A and B are shown apart, each in its own frame.
Chain A
């Protein structure tokens, strides 16, 4: 069995659990812990541990989906997660105060993993807050995201997520 991994990360409430659930073939394994006070304030009943889903591609190929909040105390896991990694799906909520900064810090935190694989960015909740626009992200972040697919997505909409995964795979250098 060949195992591949796609990591879905981003700030609390950006839509990671929703995305894993929408893509996975199996019922998502919920490993929610009791949220810290801080995250409780941001969103009730959120993931602080990990979401797990799977795509059964063929008899001997499987893609594992890991949703990780990327909080610092989970630093130690990223090494394990990145073995067989195809790339990172970074979800960022447009409704949060500083999504530009969220992108900067997550791209930096996952820098090594992204260097070996690839990354796409999904901007969620643009229906709740339309600004900043995708154009604003490019203006603000410039070269940092120039070659990265940055799409508006609704984590509840599977079509959006599939487009994001397609761009992730296409962004990987072909073998």
Chain B
């Protein structure tokens, strides 16, 4: 005999997530649960929806003992109300995780079929959907990182306000003691107060951004789950998602951890095929000889027109859209290469020097991974210093450049000699390959022994001084 379905109340779950949960309960849990608003057996609530937070706390105040599942991007669950029987679930989560929690909190439903819903859905939709899902999840990660960073920035800004206020109090005190300096010190206080006001404003902007980023995470993770039902058109939706909500601030948001590069399996996981990405299409056109004709590449609504000397590309995308489009694999059917006979001057679009475009799109496609053909052990040399002031800068790029210009060094050795994260070495390699300024040299030139370079304290102090204290990460 079927048991009565357990009654689940939901608060703050986006409509889409709620729909998904409803069908999941019916199809994958044999109707063991149903969503209901009154007299629930269990509550599922989303902590990231700031507007509904009051509604949530009003409810939990009344029902502190109701079994509750709280979901959030915030790994600390700082906004979680005090409850006696609560499970915390980090986003993005799989519906199966909800199922497990329900079973443990309410007792297992009679019919226990372990169906991995997400996998089943992804399988039925094919690898393409899975690809997009992975990328959308990556976007969720990015958004989550953004949100954390924004919060950190807000905290820093607050700390800055506090310290500026402290300083101005001190300055004021000094001013009252030293009569002769009163005028000057007062001016300093005024300046300090102005700085404090600016810092306060900055803090509140950052806080807003944190909220926006949380919302972005939400949307991005939804696209992850939805990906199973979607084909190419999703790519456009995906880029819209990033565009509309993920504040385009950090074009190098990567935190990929170092792996054991002596383990072939770990290395295999880092491989990607650059020809599948926007970068691959652009690189192909950049080297082909099209005579005097302008060549255009269209991908859905995105348009790239190459000047006839191939040195400049006009693009109809914002930076954030370009970033999004660069990060997802492109499928041949959606890409269209054609010759254009319109005069260059009549084309409207943002002009991107080809090297800057290849550099950016290569980094964004790679996301700190390695192209299929990359050899980790062959020494890499730089033909020359790249034009670093005009190419997108990222951590440790200049250090790797300085090394490779003078001493060809393999990717593996570069990370250990300079004592920097592998991800930045990989990105620099991918970027300089893209602009044709790095190359392998014969193994024989490899230094007999690679010793760690001594960091020069003076040089890093000079750079800290020039860049300000918040960039002390950059070591020499």
Contact = CB atoms under 8 A, between A and B. Distances in A.
B388 interface: yes
B384 A166 contact: no
Interface string B448-466: 0000011110110111011
Interface stretch (B24-32, B215-223, B330-338, B398-406): B398-406
A144 to B, nearest CB: 11
A44 interface: no
B385 A148 contact: yes
A167 B402 contact: yes
B476 A169 contact: yes
B385 A167 contact: yes
A165 B458 CA distance: 13
A170 to B, nearest CB: 4
Contacts of B390: 151-152
Contact of B406 (A23, A147, A153, A164): A147
Contact of A55 (B311, B399, B401, B465): B465
Interface string B364-392: 00000000000000000001110111100
A23 B467 CA distance: 10
Contacts of A153: 389
Interface in B399-433: 399, 401-402, 405-406
A149 interface: yes
The interface residues of chain A, by DSSP majority, are classed as mixed
Contacts of A56: 465
Given A55-B466, A162-B466, A174-B454, A61 B387 contact: no
24 contacts: A56-B465, A57-B465, A146-B384, A147-B384, A147-B385, A147-B405, A151-B388, A151-B389, A151-B390, A152-B387, A152-B390, A162-B466, A163-B398, A165-B463, A167-B388, A169-B456, A169-B459, A170-B401, A170-B402, A170-B476, A174-B454, A174-B456, A175-B454, A175-B456
A61 B458 contact: yes
Interface residues of B, number: 29
A164 B402 contact: no
A129 interface: no
A165 B384 CA distance: 17
A159 B401 CA distance: 18
A39 B273 CA distance: 56
Interface of A: 4, 23, 55-58, 61, 63, 133-134, 138, 145-153, 159-160, 162-167, 169-172, 174-175
A65 to B, nearest CB: 11
A150 B388 CA distance: 9
Contacts, number: 84
B387 A171 contact: no
Nearest to A25: B465
A162 B471 CA distance: 12
Given A58-B461, A170-B476, A174-B453, A165 B466 contact: yes
A56 B465 CA distance: 8
Question: Which 7 pairs, one residue from A and one from B, show the smallest C-beta to C-beta distance?
Answer: A170-B402, A149-B385, A151-B389, A169-B459, A160-B389, A134-B387, A162-B466
A36 to B, nearest CB: 32
Given A152-B390, A160-B389, A138 B384 contact: yes
B424 to A, nearest CB: 14
Contacts of B399: 170
A133 B406 CA distance: 23
Contacts of B298: none
B231 interface: no
A172 to B, nearest CB: 7
Contacts of B466: 23, 55, 162, 165-166
A148 B465 CA distance: 24
Given A145-B384, A149-B385, 4 more contacts: A134-B387, A147-B405, A152-B387, A159-B389
A166 B466 CA distance: 9
B398 A166 contact: yes
Contact of B467 (A150, A160, A162): A162
A169 B465 CA distance: 13
B393 interface: yes
Contact of A61 (B389, B455, B461): B461
A55 B468 CA distance: 12
B356 to A, nearest CB: 11
B389 A164 contact: yes
Interface in B223-268: none
Contacts of A148: 385
A163 B462 contact: no
B398 A63 contact: no
Given A147-B406, A170-B476, A57 B458 contact: yes
Nearest to A120: B385
A23 B454 CA distance: 27
Contacts of A164: 389
Nearest to B466: A162
A162 B464 CA distance: 10
Contacts of B388: 149, 151, 163, 167
Nearest to A167: B398
A133 B354 CA distance: 13
Contacts of B406: 147
